[in-house]
Amino acid sequence: MGYASSSEARKHAELALNAFNEGLEFVNKGDVVRSSEKLYKAVEEGVKALAIAKGLDEAREALSKVRWTVSLLDKAAIKLGNAVKQAWTDAYFLHVNGFHEVRIDIDEVKARLPVIQSLINIVKEELGF
């Protein structure tokens, strides 16, 4: 990993950690919409950080286009292993059902926290936080 990709990966990791902490605050307040939004963002940024750190083709494509798509995020999450793939699946569920559609309750958000926490732990470990 070169310096530019290292700093880019760390930038996304920091965004992931901040969004996760904000998401936890909104979970504690019982705010389904904002907790779902922040937890999705945490996973999205975590997938980006890991994909960049590992030099995945999806990261190179996103960086060259200056844009990540859901498809690139999904492909990267699958390549990054089961824990990351599951966190991405759970986060996307929250994005659609908790943020956009608002058809779940806070317990359904809380049920997904352990899987999302696992991804955050992977990000911390891989990027030295």
Q: 59: Cβ–Cβ under 8 A, 6 or more apart, which residues?
A: 5, 48, 51, 52, 76
CA dihedral 118→94→55→126, nearest 10 degrees, is -20
Reported as type and span, the H/E element at residue 93 is helix 82-93
- Maximum CA extent, the chain: 43
> 66: buried, middle or exposed (CB in 10 Å: 19+, 13-18, 0-12)?
exposed
| Per-residue pLDDT tens over the stretch 42-96 | 999 999 999 999 999 999 999 899 899 999 999 999 999 999 999 999 999 999 9
**Domain 3-127: CATH architecture, name and number where available:** Up-down Bundle (1.20)
Domain boundaries, the chain: 3-127
Q: What are the tokens at 56? A: 């995945």
Q: Would you say the pTM of this structure is higher than 0.85?
A: yes
d(CA 7, CA 19) in angstroms, rounded, equals 18
Q: What is d(CA 2, CA 25) in angstroms, rounded to the nearest whole number?
A: 35
Residue 1 pLDDT more than 70?
no
Q: Is the pLDDT of residue 7 over 80?
A: yes
CA–CA separation, 16 and 90 (whole Å): 15
Q: Residue 73 corresponds to which tokens in the numbers above?
A: 């995020």
